[in-house]
Amino acid sequence: MRFIRGMWRGTCTQTSNGGAFPRGIASRPSFGIGGFGGASALGGLRTHAGQRTVDCSASRQALGATPTVTTPVAFSRVRARAAHSGVAAMAVATDKQLMSVAPMMDWTDLHWRQLARMLSKHTWLWTEMVVDLTLVHQDPNLDKFLWFPEEQHPIVLQLGGSDPETLAKAAELALPYGYDEINLNCGCPSDRVAGSGCFGAALMLDPQRVGACCAAMNKVLGGVPLTIKCRLGVDDHDSYEELAKFIRVVSEEGGITHFIMHARKAFLQGLNPHQNRTVPPLRHQWVFALRRDFPHLSFSLNGGVQSCTEVSAILESTIQGNKVEGIMVGRAAYHYPWQVLAVADTAVFGAAEDPAKSRRQVLRDYAKYADSIQGRFTVEGHKQNPNTRSLTIPLLNMFHGEAGNRAWKQSVDKVLREAQSVSELLDKTLNCFSDEVLDAPPSPPPQGMPAAEWLETLQELPLPATGEYDSSVRSVDDAADGNGSASEANGAAEHAPPSADAVRS
């Protein structure tokens, strides 16, 4: 048995091995039709010359109706300019951004976000980073990069770039799609971003440029909120005073009032992206210090948060009278969606109930979505996009820790070779789980962690920044040389993070 492209090669066997979800899985979402668990729960599938229909007769009783799904679905163009001032009407998000899911390249795509929204109505979802030049050069094909179903609100589009004019053009192109917020990436240390592109975390070395970028974007956004996601510092530019200068310059020159802080520094060279999420120690207290020193601004905290219990504890924590605005959860939400997102509405937002009643219900709804969108972005002469495999990937963490999980992944990998839809795939594989697993509601999170317990893990706040230091901050164009960062990274690796949770992001 071997692991290939995030799938387990093998055949389905009725075992009770829950199996941990493998590292490195990419994610993309899908839906299911009918009652799962049991033979032919979704009915048969027939393929006719370019058109696919699902025979749902076997699942009429479970659904109460016989849906017909035909793909590819024709979608109307979203990018019609709004009549008033050239600004599209935006869905009003009534919830504070108390909890959000971090933008993760190759993971938080359109399909995974659809699954996440089925698990939580109130958690804010973020797109993968979209490079500004991609949108500018793909103007006739923007739906592929920007379209999303209405139910994915509240949603944030993260843009990457370093040129004010290009970023402003990209923001303008995105405006008609109705994102609730636009974010500029100033925190990603990946060489896919900070190296050749000279943006992401590299931008923290040039706060004036970030301010200019934000000012240009704000001119075209017409009131749509613009935020910054960044680190605490970069390479050897990691003092609190330098961080405070970045916040001051960007807020004053760019008009930014909300910063999402990944509470670690970044190494542009010497550490890979995974090490950049684990080696630099967490400094959550610095985010509270920023709130102290910039009381007119709001700050959200990102880094090391693993559960809704921790989210609630941090939101309730007060340091010198200061609180953070919200909490961003990263890989925990992706790797454990049923354990984290499915209980977020009640545990964090105070809702009366959570939307997901069972995995069976979520998979049924997701299969409907997947069958309707399959092939939507296919270009003539190219492979189907999205296809069954890409639409299935977001589901692979839904049964983390459950009996039958490993057998199910083996079965999924086998069935994917021939399956024509997510509905068909689920119909043929979910017999690896018992009805008890499929129909169980999400378990409430453990008894809440007292805020005082979380505060005990923090060090003292840094002293307020004086603003009188002479910082030899390099320009963003010099960021790629990474002078001194490799040796500093080696030194940082010798220092253990403050807790077990601190090594996860």
- Residues catalogued as catalytic: 188
User: Tokens 């049924």 appear where?
Assistant: 364
Contact 254, 214 (CB under 8 A): yes
Cα angle vertex 21, ends 374, 280, to 5°? 105
> In the beta sheet, which residues pair with residue 328?
100, 302
Integer Cα distance of 207 and 185 in angstroms? 13
Q: In this structure, how many other beta carbons lie within 10 angstroms of the beta carbon of residue 72?
A: 18
Nearest residue to 31 via CA among 410, 386, 432: 386
**183: helix, coil or strand?**
strand
Integer Cα distance of 237 and 74 in angstroms? 51
Contact 259, 281 (CB under 8 A): no
Contact 13, 403 (CB under 8 A): no
Integer Cα distance of 386 and 379 in angstroms? 11
Integer Cα distance of 356 and 39 in angstroms? 24
Integer Cα distance of 131 and 197 in angstroms? 9
Integer Cα distance of 136 and 197 in angstroms? 15
Instruction: Tell me the one-letter amino acid at 200.
Output: G
**165: helix, coil or strand?**
helix
Q: In this structure, how many other beta carbons lie within 10 angstroms of the beta carbon of residue 275?
A: 15
Integer Cα distance of 150 and 142 in angstroms? 16
Cα-Cα-Cα-Cα torsion 74, 43, 55, 407, nearest 10 degrees, comes to 30
CA distance between the termini of the chain: 30
Tokens matching residue 481: 């040389």
Length of the chain: 505
> In the beta sheet, which residues pair with residue 156?
126, 181
Contact 156, 185 (CB under 8 A): no
Nearest residue to 237 via CA among 485, 67, 5: 485
Reading phi first (left if > 0) and then psi (alpha if -120 to 50, else beta), residue 274 is in alpha
Q: In this structure, how many other beta carbons lie within 10 angstroms of the beta carbon of residue 297?
A: 17
**DSSP H or E segment with residue 53:** strand 51-54
